């Protein structure tokens, strides 16, 4: 369970073992690490949380690439590239589709590998002097044995102009990373801390779409994500005005939404990425209905958590932009509330020590109001645009789980 909570709470750049026949499926362009760390620390100060203020920013500043290559070149972003073993992924998807489910995080780990293109300030000559144990390879890469930067053997590759260094789990991946990252570097970050661009293989695996891209920015009121997905499905009609009053949704439901396309609100699949047991609990707790004569579908959780207010008021509190016309999908979810309901049920199935930890986590989450996250999407040409805002209150609840992980 600890691993699943960690996946939910924290996503950091990493490097997995090499695979054969791998192809780039996704890039994440990120601004310089100190800026990201400072933004997270600023958010932590607003939440009065030492984990977000100190420990997480320190982990960001001390990524493996930073330990190896030193500070990033000023004003220049880096790019992380996710490679996917196409053959293994196809086999995995075929096997799981027969069971009616999507891959989980652990299953994806077995078919993917990460590399990073880093804007260096150190020359290759200086790097070799600093790391005399680096072994040159035939293709120009350097094999770097395990050390303080990583517990695994990694491979570095300096571009001919000396401005970039790639770091990956295999020599071939390191040498290919500058090529895979080239298009990502052409897109300006703007105010985003990170921008995700996903190719067809990754987008189809995760979203059954032809393409996916998005950006992330930390704001005073929380965390915002926006982007677009291109789907093969026909055009989604906009929701009628009556749908936005959320008829039939119980007061303070921890999860609810309306959509003009029933496949849009597969929220259990999101939780399935963390743990199949959580996904099963979510599916049994959610009702997906269509009222007689209505041309839209409603999604709501069976649980009614005390306090919080009417559904529309809760959504507008976190996502006032959802008042716009033309939306095809709107959803509210309080992940911390869902976990607060779920963790005691998990605790009943565990041994005493682990059960106590789960119950402690549930008690810590009781301090969270459940302001939740808001999601909306709408059609623009051939793309479906989406916008998500996660409240500071939900981030505070998440940091409580971080505290348990760090203190364990």
Which among 163, 193, 220 is the end of a domain? 220
Average pLDDT over residues 189-199: 79
Asked, for residue 317, whether it belongs to a domain, the answer is: yes
Same domain, 83 and 29: yes
Local confidence band at 149 (pLDDT 50, 70, 90 cut-offs): confident
Q: What would the pLDDT profile of 39-81 be if each residue is shown by its tens digit? A: 778 777 766 667 667 777 787 888 888 889 999 998 899 999 9
Measure the CA–CA gap between 83 and 73, rounded to whole angstroms.
Answer: 25
Confidence at 158, pLDDT banded by 50, 70, 90: very high
Is residue 387, in this structure, part of any structural domain at all? yes
**By residue range, what is the domain housing residue 147?**
16-220
- Whether 255 and 341 map to the same domain: the answer is yes
Residues 153, 82, single domain; the answer is: yes
Judge contact between 68 and 142, C-beta under 8 A.
Answer: no
Shared-domain flag, residues 59 and 141? yes
Of 196, 194, 188, 158, residue with least CA distance to 175: 158
177, 139 Cβ separation under 8 angstroms: no
Whether residues 243 and 207 share a domain: the answer is no
**Is 179 part of a structural domain of the chain?**
yes
Co-location of 369 and 247 in the same domain: yes
- Of 218 and 116, the one with more pLDDT: 116
Q: Helix or strand or coil: residue 140? A: coil
Q: What is the pLDDT of residue 364?
A: 66
For residue 246, the 8-state DSSP code is -
Residues 341 and 213 in one domain: no
Task: Report which of residues 359 and 121 the model is more confident about.
Answer: 121
pLDDT at 367: 65
Query: Could you report the per-residue pLDDT of 6-16, keeping only the tens digit for each?
Result: 332 322 223 33
Q: Is residue 329 part of a domain?
A: yes
Q: How many domains does the chain have?
A: 2
Closest CA to 27 of 175, 164, 184: 184
Residue 11 lies in a domain: no
259 assigned to some structural domain? yes
Contacts of 367 (CB under 8 A, 6+ apart): 396, 397, 400
Instruction: Give the pLDDT of residue 116.
Output: 94
Q: Is 274 helix (H, G, I), strand (E, B) or coil?
A: coil
Summarize pLDDT for 89-104 with one digit per residue, the tens. Answer: 777 767 766 666 665 5
1 in a structural domain: no
The pLDDT tens digits for 126-148 are: 999 999 999 999 999 999 999 87
Per-residue pLDDT of 18-34, as tens digits, reads 334 567 778 889 888 88
One domain, residues 39 and 144: yes
Q: Are residues 47 and 113 in the same domain?
A: yes
Specify if 134 maps to a domain. yes
Name the domain boundary from 202, 220, 238: 220
Last residue of one domain, picked from the residues 220, 238, 257: 220
182 shares its domain with 38: yes
Q: Are 29 and 75 in the same domain?
A: yes
Q: What are the pLDDT digits (tens) for 278-326?
A: 556 566 666 667 777 788 888 776 665 555 578 888 899 889 999 887 8
Residue 218, pLDDT > 80, answer no
Distance CA 84, CA 110 (A): 9
Residue-wise pLDDT for 219-235, tens only, equals 556 678 888 777 655 56
For residues 206 and 184, membership in a common domain is answered with yes
Q: What tens digit of pLDDT does each residue of 235-279 get?
A: 678 888 888 888 878 777 777 888 887 654 444 455 445 455 555
- Per-residue pLDDT tens digits for 339-396: 777 777 777 877 787 777 777 767 766 666 778 889 998 888 777 888 888 887 777 6
């Amino acid at each position: 369970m600890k691993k699943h909570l960690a996946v939910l709470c924290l996503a950091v750049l990493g490097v997995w073992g090499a695979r054969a026949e791998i192809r780039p499926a996704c890039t994440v362009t990120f601004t310089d690490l100190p800026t990201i760390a400072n933004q997270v620390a600023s958010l932590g100060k607003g939440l009065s949380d030492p984990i977000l203020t100190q420990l997480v920013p320190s982990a960001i500043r001390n990524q493996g690439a930073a330990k190896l290559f030193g500070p990033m070149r000023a004003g220049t972003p880096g790019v992380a590239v996710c490679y996917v073993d196409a053959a293994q992924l196809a086999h995995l998807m075929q096997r799981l589709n027969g069971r009616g489910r999507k891959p989980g995080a652990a299953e994806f780990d077995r078919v993917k590998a990460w590399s990073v293109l880093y804007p260096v300030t150190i020359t290759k000559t200086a790097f070799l002097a600093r790391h005399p144990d680096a072994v040159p390879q035939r293709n120009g890469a350097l094999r770097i044995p395990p050390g303080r930067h990583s517990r695994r053997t990694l491979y570095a590759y300096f571009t001919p102009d000396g401005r970039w260094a790639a770091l990956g789990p295999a020599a071939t991946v390191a040498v290919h990373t500058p090529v895979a990252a080239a298009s990502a570097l052409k897109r300006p970050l703007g105010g985003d801390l990170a921008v995700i661009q996903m190719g067809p293989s990754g987008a189809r695996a995760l979203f059954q779409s032809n393409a996916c891209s998005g950006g992330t920015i930390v704001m005073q009121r929380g965390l915002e994500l926006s982007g677009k997905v291109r789907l093969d499905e026909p055009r989604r009609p906009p929701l009628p005005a009556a749908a936005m009053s959320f008829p039939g949704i119980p007061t303070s439901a921890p999860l609810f939404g309306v959509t003009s396309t029933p496949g849009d609100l597969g929220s259990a699949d999101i939780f399935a990425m963390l743990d199949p047991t959580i996904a099963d609990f979510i599916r049994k707790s959610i009702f997906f209905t269509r009222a007689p004569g209505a041309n839209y579908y409603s999604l709501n959780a069976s649980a009614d958590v005390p306090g919080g207010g009417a559904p529309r008021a809760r959504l507008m509190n976190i996502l006032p932009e959802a008042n716009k016309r033309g939306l095809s999908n709107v959803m509210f979810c309080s992940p911390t509330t869902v976990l607060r309901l779920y963790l005691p049920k998990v605790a009943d199935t565990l041994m005493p020590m682990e059960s106590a930890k789960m119950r402690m986590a549930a008690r810590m989450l009781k301090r969270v109001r459940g302001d939740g996250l808001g999601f909306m999407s709408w059609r623009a040409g051939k793309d479906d645009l989406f916008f998500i805002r996660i409240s500071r209150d939900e981030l505070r609840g998440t940091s409580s789980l971080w505290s348990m992980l760090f203190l364990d």
